[in-house]
Amino acid sequence: MKLKKNLDKIYLISLSIFLTLIGCDSFLDIAPPKTELASATVFTNNSTANAAITSIYARMSTVNGTPFSNLPWLTGLSADEFTNYATNLNVVAFYSNSLTPVNPNMATYFWTPYYNIIYQVNSIMEGLEKSSGVSDEVKKQIKGEALFVRAFYHFYLTNLFGDIPIITSTDYKANATLSRALQVDVYRQIVTDLTDAKALLNPLYIGADALTESTDRVRPNLATAQSLLARVYLYTNQYEKAEAESTQVITNQLYSLPNNLSTIFLKGSIEAIWQTQPVPNMTTTFADKFVLTGNPSTGLNRSITLSPSLLSLFETDDLRVSQYMGTRTYQGSTIRFVRKHKVTSANSSEENMIMRLSEQYLIRAEARIQLQMIEEGIEDLNTLRRRANVEEYDYQTVSDPLLLVEQERQRELFAEGHRWFDLRRTNRIDLVMATIAPTKGGVWSEHSTLYPIPETERTNNAQLSQNKNY
């Protein structure tokens, strides 16, 4: 398909531009960051402006770009989703809930790449403002995408670290001395960015030119912003708004829940709200991280299996056991591993799933239950349970509907980066982890609910405080 070839070409061009331009170890560098885009060059026309924004999506899938699969992997280790076989001590620290500020993975996998991406989208928006060579229609779409991406990464940073700096410009001198903003203010900025993005983004998925409709779902659209906004409203206990935003997505004709669970994680899936496209020869796929092709590795990839506590939640006939998991015999026992994405290399059939429709049903279920719409909330859970071939809940006999939501989120969304945050936002983390941590070789402490601010960043910026008891 011509559009697909063009999108591949733009991704490769944009990735080349991006990896050439990006080189600073931290967004807090005192010298002018090497991530700064030369707006006069990059934004001379629609194609180069599009390349700048799509390079970010390529980076989310590439080895050199710190792939997004690191987040569900490491937060899943911190929570109760996985059994770990990796021997790297910096990884074991996530599993045993014994992180320290000098653990290099704090900066390498999260802080530095996430803030670098935020810096990039700020630079893109500033470049668009100065450009006369980019059409108004393309400017509108790219700015909407940039605002969404900025909100997306601020969301993950604040859920990993709590209070964080809010970066909305490329003023590196100001950024280098920013202190941490309260989480409530971070969320306020996220909501502002997503609300503004909604007014700009195309309701359809568009291709490499930001104009032509595409069957690929690799560039954020209106529903992508609505979906993240629904999640943010849920996290901030604004249940009426969460219910409204998730309903907008659920009733959108672009999306539905496929009955065949094996199709969910395929390219262009009707359940996909946002996917990232693998870049040939440069990609780390989610399957490459999770799918065992032999015995569990002691390295960084393919080093986890699903935990006994997670597996205990599934009923015998639950189709998610056969469709979302793989099995192997290891040391005389059957082990199960994540097999939602199934192909362990860049390929034409799968794309990395970042956001999908099932989460919106779960958001709406929780919001409705919090609003005392118990029957409607339970029905949203039953929509997913019917697809999974398990018995529906009877809302009249349910004693703790919020616990049912939590468990259904575990079953449906495991290994997608939600569980650690769910435990924190529902104030269940101390109760759960006090039992789980000892089974992982650790001792639970309340301060472990947040990750430590990287010590390297605090050395660069004396204004950055540390999280309690680190």
Which of 30-44, 231-245, 337-351, 450-464 comes out lowest in average pLDDT? 30-44
Per-residue pLDDT, averaged over 271-299, amounts to: 87
CA distance 227 to 229: 5
Which of 38-47, 211-220, 316-325, 425-434 comes out lowest in average pLDDT? 38-47
Q: Give the model confidence (pLDDT) of 90-117 as tens digits.
A: 999 999 999 999 999 999 999 999 999 9
Split at pLDDT 50, 70, 90, the class of 308 is very high
**High-pLDDT (> 70) share of the chain, %:** 90
Average pLDDT, whole number, for the chain? 91
CA distance 201 to 189: 18
Q: Answer whether residue 134 shows pLDDT above 50.
A: yes
Split at pLDDT 50, 70, 90, the class of 284 is low
Residues 91, 77 contacting (CB under 8 angstroms): yes
Q: 337: closest CA among 347, 345, 346, 328?
A: 328
Per-residue pLDDT, 27: 30
Six token digits for residue 122: 């700020």
Split at pLDDT 50, 70, 90, the class of 283 is low
Split at pLDDT 50, 70, 90, the class of 28 is very low
Per-residue pLDDT, 3: 36
pTM of the model: 0.92
Per-residue pLDDT, 405: 98
Per-residue pLDDT, 21: 41
CA distance 299 to 304: 10
User: Where along the chain do its domains lie?
Assistant: 2-87+100-283+349-460
The residue among 24 and 332 whose pLDDT is bigger is 332
DSSP-based three-state secondary structure for 413: helix
Q: Answer whether residue 230 shows pLDDT above 70.
A: yes
Measure the N-to-C terminal CA separation of the chain; round to a whole number of Å. 53
Q: Answer whether residue 37 shows pLDDT above 60.
A: no
- Residues 6 or more apart in contact with residue 351 via CB below 8 angstroms: 216, 217, 218, 266, 267, 268, 272, 275, 276, 277, 278
CA distance 259 to 384: 10
Per-residue pLDDT, 155: 98
CA distance 401 to 393: 10
Residues 117, 59 contacting (CB under 8 angstroms): yes
Six token digits for residue 160: 């990993």
DSSP string, 198-237: HTTS-SS-B-TTSSSB-S---S--HHHHHHHHHHHHHHTT
Q: Give the model confidence (pLDDT) of 385-428 as tens digits.
A: 999 999 999 999 999 999 999 999 999 999 999 999 999 999 99
Split at pLDDT 50, 70, 90, the class of 326 is very high
3-state helix, strand, coil in the chain (%, to 5): 50, 10, 40
- Residues 6 or more apart in contact with residue 4 via CB below 8 angstroms: 216
Split at pLDDT 50, 70, 90, the class of 282 is low
User: Which residue type, as a one-letter code, is found at position 234?
Assistant: L
User: Which residue type, as a one-letter code, is found at position 55?
Assistant: S
CA distance 39 to 28: 21
Per-residue pLDDT, 440: 98
User: What is the Cα gyration radius of the chain?
Assistant: 21
Per-residue pLDDT, averaged over 428-441, amounts to: 98
Per-residue pLDDT, averaged over 448-461, amounts to: 97
Q: Answer whether residue 26 shows pLDDT above 80.
A: no
Fold classified for 2-87+100-283+349-460: 1.25.40
Residue 434, Cβ neighbours under 10 Å: how many?
A: 13
Q: Give the model confidence (pLDDT) of 239-274 as tens digits.
A: 999 999 999 999 999 999 999 999 999 999 999 999
Q: Give the model confidence (pLDDT) of 159-217 as tens digits.
A: 999 999 999 999 989 999 999 999 999 999 999 999 999 999 999 999 999 999 999 99
CA distance 57 to 65: 10
**High-pLDDT (> 90) share of the chain, %:** 84
Split at pLDDT 50, 70, 90, the class of 38 is low
Residues 321, 312 contacting (CB under 8 angstroms): no
Per-residue pLDDT, 344: 83
Per-residue pLDDT, averaged over 304-312, amounts to: 98
- State which of 62-71, 285-294, 361-370 shows the largest mean pLDDT: 361-370
Residues 85, 424 contacting (CB under 8 angstroms): no
